[in-house]
Amino acid sequence: MQHFASDNYAGICPEALSALLAANDGHVRSYGDDLWTLRVADRLRQLFETDCDVYFVFNGTAANSLALAALCQPYHSVICHQLAHVETDECGAPEFFSNGAKLLAVGGEQGKLTPQTIAEAVTRRSDIHYPKPKVVTLTQATEVGTVYRPDELRAIADTARQLGLRVHMDGARFANAVASLGVSPADVTWRTGVDVLCFGGTKMGLPVGEAVLFFDRRLSEDFAYRCKQAGQLASKMRFLSAPWLGILDDGAWLRHAAHANAMARRLAAGLAEITGWPALFPVQANAVFVQLPEPVDAGLRERGWLFYNFIGAGGARLMCGWDTAPETVDRLLADIRELADRPA
């Protein structure tokens, strides 16, 4: 049975799985010194049209935390949205791995930061007692399923530059954002001023693993040591890296992301038609947030559906993945229709 709890409920997509199996051939060098890892890093440089430094880690919490730690001293601070994964779902790992850099969480409509909220957080204080702002971190697509447009990114990065901040992007769902915008990956990262991208693989259909891309290569000095110390250097690195080849080689990463986005739009359109309940946020990626009446929520769970209620700003989060079938969306909608029609 398929669920709407998270895109990490899905299995491995076929393209990644066949690349994983292909890599399971004989002996190769360990710790990233293998041809698979070198090929994927090159393939990512091609995709992003730039000579960036590439690292592979096991998960998004490590990618974000270690990348932020690379951008900060312990007395620095990182401006993030109050719904950001780094703030709400990483158990203090960014603070831990940076030896104390503080997250400064700010508000903002639709899960987004703006140049104004960032400038306000930076210029609020300038004295020695305040942790010095050094980085702004953006999530693309955001935790509430919205997407920063290129002009929004550029405005934020320009402001960051003026204020002396580095720009980090949590791209756990970067593929969904790129598919939604129809832009080149370069145009929504380094060309608009993003210094470091954590490019999510897991939610895209890989078995495990995220890539950390340093567009400003000076920032990756000693990053390999950070990864090793944090227990994030895979000895059989080829099994973290090779699955990327499968999804990058024929554009499967974008196809799967576009499919997940389309399933979210189908779900949102069906909900609006059946119930009139509006999505709580514009559906621009692969998530639909909706306030379900309590009996409907309980009824869906009774029928075995799994989904989260604790993410973002409340409401049910219904998340589509690379393999979400249209029939699954329609089955959920049919159950919602029945439950919503019941007399209270």
**Residue numbers of the site for ligand PLP (CB under 6 A)?**
59-61, 85, 139, 143, 170, 172, 202-203
- Give the whole-angstrom CA distance, residue 294 versus residue 300: 10
Q: Say how far residue 25 (Cα) sits from the centre of its chain.
A: 31
Q: Please report how close the Cβ of residue 306 comes to ligand PLP at its closest, in angstroms.
A: 16
Closest CA to 21 of 211, 249, 209, 245: 245
Q: Which residue is nearest to ligand PLP (CB)?
A: 60
In the bound state with ligand PLP, the residue whose beta carbon lies nearer, of 64 and 328, is: 64
CB of 6 to ligand PLP, least distance (A): 7
User: How many Å from the N-terminal Cα to the C-terminal Cα in the chain?
Assistant: 28
Structure tokens at 335: 């159950």
Q: Whose Cβ is closer to ligand PLP: residue 80's or residue 339's?
A: 80
Give the separation between CA 237 and CA 241, rounded to whole angstroms.
Answer: 6
Nearer to ligand PLP, 61 or 241 (CB): 61
| Cα gap 181→318, rounded to integer Å | 21
Q: How far is the CB of 75 from ligand PLP (least distance, A)?
A: 25
CB closer to ligand PLP out of 61 and 328? 61
Report the nearest approach of ligand PLP to the CB of residue 335 (Å): 26
Q: Is the separation of the CB atoms in 77 and 134 below 8 Å?
A: yes
Six token digits for residue 56: 């592979």
In the complex, what is the shortest distance from the CB of residue 253 to ligand PLP, in angstroms, rounded to a whole number?
A: 16
Smaller CB separation from ligand PLP, 199 or 336 = 199
Provide the minimum distance between the beta carbon of 246 and ligand PLP in the complex, in angstroms, as a whole number.
19
Residue 97 Cβ, how far from ligand PLP at the closest point, in Å?
13
State which residue, 47 or 86, has the beta carbon closest to ligand PLP: 86
Which of 61, 98 has the CB closer to ligand PLP? 61
